[in-house]
Amino acid sequence: MIATGSVGDGGTAAEYMVKRAARPPAAAPRSAPLDYGGGMDPEGKVIVVTGAAGGIGGALVRALLERGARTVVAADLDGAGVERLREELGAERVLPRVLDVADEQATRALVDDIAATVGAIDVWFANAGLATGSGPDAPDEEWNSQWRINVMSTCTPPVSFYRDGSSGARVTS
């Protein structure tokens, strides 16, 4: 950016406008492969995706299965949405679970259930999120909900499975 004009020289308003350099045209959209930097391969892994009934969460579940995940636990408040994923992608590799990620006890119970029925969790995708669209004047309860879901819920699962000696990884999206 280049600002033009100078204070006090009697210039016009147009001279004080910021001139932006021309942007190059946007590249055509391309497929965004999951790139783990060579360090993580979902092949054969047990992976949990929260917020799985939504667009990004559903896409994560599909991509992880395409890349060989053994089991993907699709967790969301929308039970019907995660059931649809199971029907679409296969009951043998998608485990739908209803979960309120803001409920720490429910999250810990899910971690324990997965460990007992499927095996150790290798990766936890903390993808669930809440955006109310409200501004600074939003009621405190909206701010608290966003804090519990968008921040605190990303901490509970790793604490649970690291405590048990797992070498699981956490990804927050």
CATH 3.40.50.300 fits 39-172, yes or no: no
Give the chain's count of helices (H) and strands (E): 5, 7
- Residue 56: its pLDDT value, please? 92
Across the chain, which distance is largest between two alpha carbons, in Å? 77
**Quick one: CA dihedral 117, 60, 158, 84, positive or negative?**
negative
Pair type for strands 94-98 and 71-76: parallel
Is the pLDDT score of 5 beyond 50?
A: no
Mean pLDDT of 29-51: 72
Closest residue by Cα to residue 132 from 144, 151, 146: 146
In the chain, what are the domain boundaries? 39-172
Closest residue by Cα to residue 161 from 124, 126, 128: 124
Is the pLDDT score of 15 beyond 70?
A: no
Q: What is the dihedral of CA 92, 76, 161, 156, to 10 degrees?
A: 180
Is the pLDDT score of 167 beyond 80?
A: no
- Residue 38: its pLDDT value, please? 56
Backbone dihedral angles phi then psi of residue 18, each to the nearest 5 degrees: -85, 125
Mean pLDDT of 117-131: 88
Is the pLDDT score of 113 beyond 60?
A: yes
Please tell me whether residue 23 adopts helix, strand or coil conformation: coil
pLDDT digits (tens, 9 = 90+) for 62-105: 999 999 999 999 999 999 999 999 999 988 899 999 999 988 89
CA distance 119 to 58: 22
CA distance 159 to 166: 10
Burial class (CB in 10 A: 0-12, 13-18, 19+), 168: buried
Of 55 and 149, the structure prediction assigns the larger pLDDT to 55
